[in-house]
Amino acid sequence: MIKCVSCDQTYDDNEIVYICEKCGSVLEVEIENNISKDIFDGRKLGLWKYKEFIPVDYSNVVSLDEGGTPFCRCDKLGKELGIDLYVKVEGSNPTGSFKDRGMSVGVTKAVELGVDTVGCASTGNTSASLAAYAARGGLRSIVLLPAGKVALGKLAQAMFYGSEVLSINGNFDQALESATRLANEKYIYLLNSINPFRLEGQKSIGFEIVDELGWKSPDRIILPIGNAGNISAIWKGITEFYNADYIDEKPIMTGIQAEGAAPIVEAFKNKSYSINPVENPETVATAIRIGNPVSHIKALRAIYDSDGYVDSVTDEEILDAQKLLARVEGIGVEPASASSIAGLKKLVDKGVVDKGERVVAVVTGHILKDPDVAIKASAKPIEIEPDFNQLKAILEKKVS
């Protein structure tokens, strides 16, 4: 059953509906389950390990074996911050971001509904993921991207998997408005995170985290917020496992926005559920360069219900954290993802995160998504002739 988060109006799972027809608010899929978690024993980690919690027909599944991503304990960085730190590396998904979890479920739903064209607006990763899963599911796909604002790796993926790519002279929020209109007029089945089935896939990040911790909740989960779907999804997953009695506690949900795109931070300061959209969002972290996050109500609910926190970080803090994670722990992420780590650092300094806390930082996309940023932030390769003496001289100079 699909249910409005604001007025409790319900819709059938097979109705194509993105916002509540009664009140205009966002929707979510309600699931009921009282199976024992023993059913998961012996199954391989990944989204579909938990298929009893995923409200689509598994016989139609469109999957690239998403999820089951690395869960890296980071002792060095953890020690530096005075916490027990784990990093969930979502860049290891099939197209390099967590969007694959949502897209596997979303495209499976599209096939189940019998639609032939799927589409989305995207800052990049959603389009890369949609393009791949639409190909796998045999569907036509249309993606709308803000012109000149999509990182190179993501653009390459969307084009190469065979989506019809439209570049809009505007920002993401404007692209989403257009995509929503196309969906309302039935040209496409919309697979942005306003589609509640997307979040049904992404909630598996929450499932995996507690599963990997031996059916225990961490003290805190921290992640970037862009359109605010993922934090909502993870909280939904955690809450479902809590309600099923698989875990005894729930984590403190902590979201991090980029300073130039931080409407949820402002709402949080006002203890409100409503946001003032940011007109011209700007940040190096293009995946979270979003001024009017569609899932803000769900995200704020996750934050308030978990005694959580939201803060923003500057581009400089993001780029520093990106480098730190790569150079101290060997984990390469795109800028948006590094806002988890930048935010964590800031909240440790502020005393919001307590010493000794067990924290899971979700890093959302792969370093190769945005090669321009990585190259710009690094020292240039040293050019030499194929001459061993020259090579030796350079190495000796470096080590001494």
State the residues that interact with Zn ion by CB under 5 A. Answer: 4, 6-7, 9, 20, 22-23, 25
Helices (H), the chain: 75-81, 99-113, 125-137, 152-160, 172-184, 196-202, 204-212, 229-243, 263-269, 296-305, 315-329, 335-350, 371-376, 388-399
- Smallest distance, Å, CB 336 to ligand PLP? 4
- Rounded-to-integer distance, Cα 314 and Cα 292, Å: 19
Q: How big is the chain, counted in residues?
A: 400
- Smallest distance, Å, CB 248 to ligand PLP? 27
Q: Between 118 and 176, name the residue whose CB sits nearer to ligand PLP.
A: 176
- Smallest distance, Å, CB 227 to Zn ion? 20
- Helices and strands in the chain, H and E counts: 14, 13
Q: Between 157 and 230, name the residue whose CB sits nearer to ligand PLP.
A: 230
- 224 near 340, Cβ under 8 Å? yes
The SS3 of residue 307 is coil
- Smallest distance, Å, CB 124 to ligand PLP? 7
Q: Between 78 and 102, name the residue whose CB sits nearer to ligand PLP.
A: 102
- Rounded-to-integer distance, Cα 303 and Cα 309, Å: 6
For strands 358-363 and 220-224, give the pairing.
parallel
- Smallest distance, Å, CB 118 to Zn ion? 25
* Tokens standing for residue 67: 């999820």
- Does 260 participate in binding ligand PLP (rule CB under 6 A)? no
- 365 near 334, Cβ under 8 Å? yes
- Smallest distance, Å, CB 22 to Zn ion? 5
- Does 93 participate in binding ligand PLP (rule CB under 6 A)? no
Residue 260 CA to its chain's centroid (Å): 19
Query: What secondary structure, in 3-state letters, does 185-210 show?
Result: CCCCEECCCCCHHHHHHHCHHHHHHH
Q: Between 84 and 360, name the residue whose CB sits nearer to ligand PLP.
A: 360
- Smallest distance, Å, CB 98 to ligand PLP? 7
Indicate which of ligand PLP, Zn ion, none lies near residue 55 (CB less than 5 to 8 Å, by partner kind): none
- Rounded-to-integer distance, Cα 213 and Cα 45, Å: 13
Q: Between 130 and 288, name the residue whose CB sits nearer to ligand PLP.
A: 288
Indicate which of Zn ion, ligand PLP, none lies near residue 4 (CB less than 5 to 8 Å, by partner kind): Zn ion
Among the listed ranges 112-120, 143-151, 204-212, 225-233, the one in contact with ligand PLP (CB under 6 A) is 225-233
- Smallest distance, Å, CB 114 to ligand PLP? 27
Q: Which of residues 353-382 bind ligand PLP (CB under 6 A)?
A: 364-365
The 3-state DSSP composition of the chain as helix, strand, coil percent (nearest 5) reads 45, 15, 40
Indicate which of ligand PLP, Zn ion, none lies near residue 97 (CB less than 5 to 8 Å, by partner kind): ligand PLP
- Rounded-to-integer distance, Cα 294 and Cα 272, Å: 15
- Does 100 participate in binding ligand PLP (rule CB under 6 A)? no
Indicate which of Zn ion, ligand PLP, none lies near residue 229 (CB less than 5 to 8 Å, by partner kind): ligand PLP
Q: Between 2 and 287, name the residue whose CB sits nearer to ligand PLP.
A: 287
Indicate which of ligand PLP, Zn ion, none lies near residue 22 (CB less than 5 to 8 Å, by partner kind): Zn ion
Indicate which of Zn ion, ligand PLP, none lies near residue 151 (CB less than 5 to 8 Å, by partner kind): none
- Does 224 participate in binding ligand PLP (rule CB under 6 A)? yes
- Rounded-to-integer distance, Cα 337 and Cα 330, Å: 14
- Rounded-to-integer distance, Cα 76 and Cα 20, Å: 47
Task: Give me the residues that bind ligand PLP (CB under 6 A), please.
Answer: 97, 99, 125, 193, 224-230, 287-288, 334, 336-337, 364-365
